[in-house]
Structure formats: structure tokens, C-alpha cells
Chain A
Amino acid sequence: MTAPRDKFGRPIVVVTGMGVVTSLGAGKADNWAKLTAGESGIRTVTRFPIDGLKTTMAGTVDFVNVEPSSSTGLTERLADIATEEALEQSGIGRKGDFPGPLFLAVAPVEVEWPQRLEAGRAVGKQEFDYDDLLRISGGGKFTKFHHRFMFGSVAGHLAETFGTKGSPISLSTACASGATAIQLGVEAIRRGEADAALCVATDGSVNPEAMVRFSLLSALSTQNDPPQAASKPFSKNRDGFVMAEGAGALVLESYEAAMARGAPILGVVAGCGELTDSFHRTRSSPDGKPIIGCVRKTLADAGMTSEQIDHINAHGTATPENDKMEYLAISTVFGERANRIPVSSNKSMVGHTISAAGAVEAIFSLLTLEHQRIPPTINYDVPDPAIPFDVVANKARDARVTAVMSNSFGFGGQNASLILTREPV
């Protein structure tokens, strides 16, 4: 038998395991039930004081606690939970022995305030400078801070725990990171370097400085009350995204390897594409060309036409700029079908899981294919007339879905899209 290949002669890449954690809950079952019921995971932040902040809500994962507390520690724990679920479903390898590489989308890591304050207090003076801080930093008291705040720490932990092979890659393409992790896995399998890849995307970084940073860029919604109504993709009164935490993990395998071991085949990553926007650090080129090009490259990579896509899992952050640009891109590529194809934004319910979003939303797209049911865009009460998408408004919709396009667009001109299908195309 010849190996199953796509129309370009490349190995077909399938998904055989998925795991997800968001502010809605842990696991696919819980997330899917709440997503399709239109529930929001956005709540007022209780993890730290919110006095003085313009935005006081987020999609925090409050049911997972790590000690000692840090965003990087939570990021790592969320990745663990999602990966365990994905591996269990996939049944690949053995415990602690995953037969392929790890691609991890993770937020940039840095020393966090609780630890910086702890070090500062160790100086033992009321008035001190950075040199004083430097002098007390060594000697072994804070070795754990070095390990915790290395960029490669989360990937190193996952590689050791799950026994992935080779050098694990930690990557950031901002809000497109999760899609990029999947793309790297797809490419490795297509090159024949690996029969399987573990693609994980995780973000647990709701902390005061992270919220302040996005707030100072005027990127966050300030509609704090009620928090559940803050994220309003495609609405006229949308005013920014809502930060959120979560993780998604996918086991990718060549179709051949998956069939050979009788693995569950949950869907196909039919195509992926990316194209950089060099216009501005935070804004899209006004003509939308890079996003349009990204969507076209993805279709070309899958060998599909826009007519074959029957649902778009939008980036849909609910920033005034993003949603407008996403409509411009989709309407340019899809023509008049842009107004008839069902579009939805998971971010209306789970918020923007930033580094994790591309993978979390790819998983929700695959669940959409499995259940033939599209999760709603909640808080869609005042449609923006400039964005005449067929938004799946407020209630889940049953639909025949064979191919989903999932988009991710981020700061720094990062654009990536995926096409997920139920069957090989």
C-alpha cells in the first residue's frame, strides 16, 4: 500500500489527541458543553488587587493553583493538564515516552513582581539601588528563580515529563503562537522528520504588569461590569479584548502512522499559512494585504478554494481594529460568500488566551467538526453594520461543517491561519 498523501504528495497530517483548559474548565467535555451553551468564563480578577486598574476582569483559570505562585508556573501547569488529556486520548507512545518532538507556544518569560519584591526585601535596606540587589542575588538563595524564569523552562519541563524527543522548541509569534506551534509540527511531519509531534500552546499570564502593559496600549476592553459581557466581537460597541488564560495540546501524526496503530483520527490539519505584516508594530496594514495574503496562502497550502470552507473560527478579538481588518480580509478572499459563511469568535466566551489562542481555537474548530455544531459569539446584541458577517449570534448553531478556517493575527505583524477538516481532502 502506498502511504496516504495529500494532492501535493506530502504526508497527510491528522490529529489523534486533544486537550484543553480555559477559564470555562478543564477538558474537552466541560469546555464544549459550556461553549455551546454560550457561557462566559470572564470574571472580575480576584488573584491580585485590582485597585487603580482600568480593566479589572479577565478569563483567569482560578481552579488551578500552583505554589509558589507565578504566571510561568501556572503556564506550565496548564500545559501539563492539556497535554495529559491529549496523550490519553491519542494513546500514543508510552507514559513519559512520546515518540516525537515538542513545539511549545509560550509567552515570553521574565522575572515577576512577587519574586522581584522577595529579592528586594532580602537586601534588608530601606533605600537601595540595583547594585545592592545584584549583590544579594547570588549564593544559592534564589537558584529556583533562575530556573523558573528561563525562557526554556516550561519546554524543558514538558520534554522531561512527557519524554518528547530532541530539542524542544519554545516559540512566540504573539497572538498567533498557538497556530505557529501547530504549523511547525505539520511541517516536521511533512518533511518526514517525525511521524508524530506534540504541539502545545499555553498562557497563564494574567498578572498586574501584563494587564497594565496591554491597558497602556489601549488594547483591553474596559467594560468591566458585568465582566461576562465585556468581550463583544463584531459588535458596534466592542472596545477591546479580554485577557485570558488557557492551554491547548494536540497530538499530530502522519495519517499513515495513525492508521497503522489504529489511533482515533479526530481531524486533519489540511493547510497552514503565514504572512508577515511589516506596516506597524501593533496595527495591520490598512489595505489588509498581509492578512489577505495569509488567508490565500493557507488555502493554497491546503489545495482548497474558499468555496470549500464552510465555517470560520475567527481571530475575533473584539478590538475595533482587528474585527474590521478580519472582515476586510475575509470579504476580499471569499467575495460575497463572506456574508453567508457562518463566523464565530470563541473569544467572546473564553477571552483572548494570547499565546494559547491558536491551539485552543484549533481544538474548538475540531470539536465543531466532530459535533457539527458551531459555538456562538455571545454578547452580539449590537451588530456592527460595517462587518456584515453571518455571525453565529448568541446561540450555538447546528450546521454541516466539513472544513474550518481558524485565524490568528498578532502584534508584530504576525498572521497565521489553519484549515482543519474532518476527512483528508
Chain B
Amino acid sequence: MTETKSSSAGSAEVWITGIGLATSLGEGLDANWNALNERRVNVDEKTFAPYIVHPLAPVNFEAQIPKKGDQRQMEAWQRIGTYAAGLALDSAGVKGDKEILGRMDMIVAAGGGERDIAVDMAILNADARGNSAPSFLNERLMNDLRPTLFLAQLSNLLAGNIAIVHGVSGTSRTFMGEEAAGVDAARIALARIAAGQSDIALVGGSQNGERKDLLVLYEFGDFNLKGKFAPVWARSGNGGFALGSAGVFLVIESKAHAQARGAKPYARLTNVVADLAQRKQPGAITKSLEALWSQLGRLNDNAGLITGTTGVEPVTSEEKAFLSQHQGCAVRATGTMFGHTMETQFPLGLALAALSISRGALFPPNDPTGLEVEMSGPPTQIVVMGTGHWQGEGMALVEAIS
């Protein structure tokens, strides 16, 4: 399958001017940066044992979602995302700027469907006891579901909540489809700005990984990491991902728009490319990644590479095969430190790339296998990579602004 055409066809240069991070390592840029440099990992091996999750570090939701009523209308994944979106707007210096927010694009990469576990279990248990009268399911759902739960489940209601809480109200699009949704959200937002269809956009996603219903869904496909935590590259024989909780949003805008309002960039978003390999053939993923690499633009020998590698096999081995062809790159796998945040993993990679460039250093390796190596000197180019646990591949190039 041929790849999606590069989204940098337009002429406008696009800058990343805002970053919002709420993750298992902490809230805000400094907390995450410090944790990365201390090689800290926050995993919970007990609550969902034998499954492992990276729980959200404590955050004060009121700081970004002041109305209790708004918080009550959301489930955790929406609160995390709305919170991170607020951080990104703060970081870009556009929070509360009605004129800009009123024409800001928003593309959210969303999952959804957070369940009411108690309601589900009551129905499943009644069914197990043979109570399967035709009306039973209907009656339980009519009586037991909270009316507002639906709105907390709907994928596009993360965007809806961001609009309500923060006033981002130009355009609003919600992309779905696991990891690829995060790639495509960035790809389309960049393409629109580069082509002059838009000036500024809020892009990102969120996941609450501390959900049994989500664990069940991925357990159906045997994707969950079980037993003992290990870094992503050290999971051979015990492949799988540990779900992570995170909200990540970026503000990206045209250079001209940023300069006109005196905004400081973290980095340039040069290119985002994506593909859907037909994975039935072995090697298809490696080939797809190689093709995407060739479309990114001119790359230095010593670029950094931040990947959302899941730890799932055989996908991870195919990624390793690709990386073995590019040994000059200093690789970092976000899955080790943040867990797998699904739709949010690619925006997370973009955020960490921009943050690294702005801080003048790639964060240190966290990998006992030696695949990740130290990087000397400040990074000028960081490739962000995302390979879906069952479909979808993407890559981006984030660069220093010279």
C-alpha cells in the first residue's frame, strides 16, 4: 500500500508553541522532564494484578477544570484530557484569549466508552444465574445507567468538554482508531496549517489506563503485559503493553501567527506521515516504517528517535529490525516510562521531542538491553515514531529552529 502523501506540501512553517502533559510521571513539563532524567518509572503491579498499569500521578483537576459540575459530567479519561489541554493552552499563552480560541482548530485523538463496572457486573451475574428474561437487559439499563454516563463515554465529548471548559471553539474534529488516530490528528492539523487552511490548532488525546474494561478489551487479543514490569525492549518472551494513563496536548501554529503574537516556539513540526501496512505478510511493518522514513525529509546521521513501541510481538521485533538499519539514531521508547497510552502515544512522542529540543538535550536512555544509547550534544532533529499494536504506522520530524 502506498503511503499517505507528506503533509508538508504547503508553504507555511509550523511551530509547536504549547505543550500540556499530565502523565504517570507527573503534571507539567518540569515534573516530566525531571522524572525522565532520573529514569523514574511509575508502575502499579498490584491493583490489577497480574496486569500492570502506569497510574496517573496525582493532579489537582480544579486548577484547569474549576467547576465541580464540569468535572462531574466527565469520566476520568475526559478529565485527564481536558486538564492537559488547559496546560497546553497555558503553555502557549493563549488561555482565555477569546479571539484566538474562537478560531482555533481542535483535533482530538480519542478512545472512549468508559463503562459503569457495577452495572455491567450486575447484569452479567444475573445472566449467569439464569435470569435472561427478554426484558431483563433493557430494564437494568433503563434503571441503572446514569443518564449523563453516555456523554462521558462518547468519543467526541472530550473535544466537547475542552470547548466548554476552555472555550476552544473554531473547529472540532475527533479521530478514532487507536494509535493511528494520534498520528493522523497531528498529520491533518499540520497539513491544514501548512496549506493556509488554518493558523493554529490544539492537538492531542488522553487515556485512563486504570480501567478493567479496557484491560478486558486488550486481553481478548492477549496484548496486556502480565507478571513483572520490564522495559519495552526487554520483554522478549513476555511481550505486551502496560496500559498508561496520560493526557497530552500540543498547540501548533504557523510561524507567522506565532511571531505576530510574540509566542516562543519549543520546536518546529516539520512533517508527519502515516501508513496502514497490510500486516499479514511478515516484514510488512519494517517495510512500511522504512518507506515513511524516506518521506520525512533530509535527516542527519545523528537524529534522535522517540518511539511509542508497545512491547507487543511480533510488532516490536519488526520495529527493532527497522531500527537496526538506523543505528546512528539515539532511540527512546516512551512505553517504558509512560506505559502504552494508545491514541495519546504519538502526541506524547511529539511533546517529548519538542521538550527535548527546547531543553537542549535528549532525555537519557532507560533500557538494560543497550538498544537505547546516550546522545551527546543538543538534538536538532528528533524523529517521532508510532507503530500501532495491531494496525497503523506513523512518523514525524520535529526540528530545532535555527
- CB within 8 Å of B: which residues of A? 49-54, 101, 106, 108-111, 113, 116-117, 119-121, 123, 125-131, 133-134, 137-140, 142-143, 145-147, 149-152, 155-156, 159-160, 163, 165-174, 180, 184, 187-188, 190-194, 208-209, 212-217, 274-282, 290, 410-414
Contact = CB atoms under 8 A, between A and B. Distances in A.
Contacts of B134: 49, 51
A170 B141 contact: no
24 contacts: A50-B138, A51-B134, A123-B128, A134-B48, A134-B216, A143-B220, A150-B178, A151-B111, A167-B276, A167-B393, A169-B188, A170-B181, A190-B197, A191-B197, A193-B5, A208-B138, A208-B141, A214-B150, A276-B169, A281-B73, A282-B151, A411-B151, A411-B160, A414-B156
A191 B191 contact: yes
A212 B160 contact: no
Most chain A CB inside 10 Å of its own CB: which residue of B124, B134, B147, B170: B124
Contacts of A169: 175, 177, 184, 188
Interface string B161-177: 10110011111111111
Given A193-B5, A281-B151, A152 B222 contact: no
Interface string B33-52: 00000000000000010010
Contacts of B315: none
Given A101-B4, A159-B276, A120 B191 contact: no
B10 A191 contact: yes
Nearest to A218: B147
A412 B125 contact: no
Which 9 A/B pairs are nearest by Cβ-Cβ distance?
A166-B4, A412-B160, A152-B177, A51-B135, A146-B221, A49-B134, A167-B274, A110-B113, A120-B124
Given A133-B212, A187-B197, A413-B169, 15 more contacts: A126-B129, A127-B128, A137-B216, A138-B220, A143-B222, A149-B217, A166-B274, A166-B276, A167-B392, A193-B191, A277-B163, A277-B169, A410-B156, A413-B163, A413-B172
A411 B156 contact: yes
B168 A165 contact: no
A19 B344 CA distance: 34
B117 interface: yes
A51 B223 CA distance: 38
B226 to A, nearest CB: 9
A374 B71 CA distance: 45
B276 A121 contact: no
B171 A145 contact: no
Q: From B216, B219, B220, name the one whose CB has the most chain A CB atoms within 10 angstroms.
A: B220
B267 to A, nearest CB: 23
B127 interface: yes
Contact of A172 (B2, B155, B219): B155
Contact of B124 (A50, A101, A128): A128
Nearest to A167: B274
Contact of A152 (B129, B180, B216): B180
A172 B177 CA distance: 11
A110 to B, nearest CB: 4
A191 to B, nearest CB: 4
A282 B160 CA distance: 9
Nearest to A106: B176
Contact of A151 (B9, B127, B172, B178): B178
A213 B178 CA distance: 24
Given A151-B181, A165-B1, A192-B9, A110 B139 contact: no
Given A166-B3, A166-B4, A414-B172, A213 B164 contact: no
Contacts of A128: 124-125, 128
A290 B394 CA distance: 34
A139 B180 contact: no
A160 B164 contact: no
Q: Does more than half of chain B's interface fall in helix, strand or loop, or is it mixed? A: mixed
Contacts of A191: 9-10, 191, 195, 197
Nearest to A53: B138
B146 to A, nearest CB: 8
A109 B220 contact: no
Contacts of A174: 154, 156
Interface in B208-237: 212-213, 215-224
Contacts of B276: 156, 159, 166-168
A288 to B, nearest CB: 14
Interface in B1-59: 1-5, 7, 9-10, 48, 51
Interface in B314-373: none
Contacts of A281: 73, 151, 157, 160-161, 164
A290 B172 CA distance: 12
A53 B142 contact: yes
Contact of A52 (B112, B124, B138): B138
B238 interface: no
A85 B133 CA distance: 41
B153 interface: yes
A164 to B, nearest CB: 9
Given A193-B5, A216-B142, A152 B176 contact: yes
B180 A278 contact: no
A147 B191 CA distance: 30
Contacts of A133: 124, 212, 216
Nearest to A194: B5
B112 A170 contact: no
B251 interface: no
B294 to A, nearest CB: 15
Contacts of B147: 216-217
B128 A166 contact: no
Given A52-B135, A282-B151, A213 B145 contact: yes
A139 B216 CA distance: 12
A412 B48 CA distance: 33
A113 B123 CA distance: 10
A410 to B, nearest CB: 8
B138 A116 contact: no
B4 A167 contact: yes
B278 interface: yes
Nearest to B215: A134
B64 interface: no
A212 B174 CA distance: 24
A278 B172 CA distance: 10
A274 B172 contact: yes
A129 B164 CA distance: 36
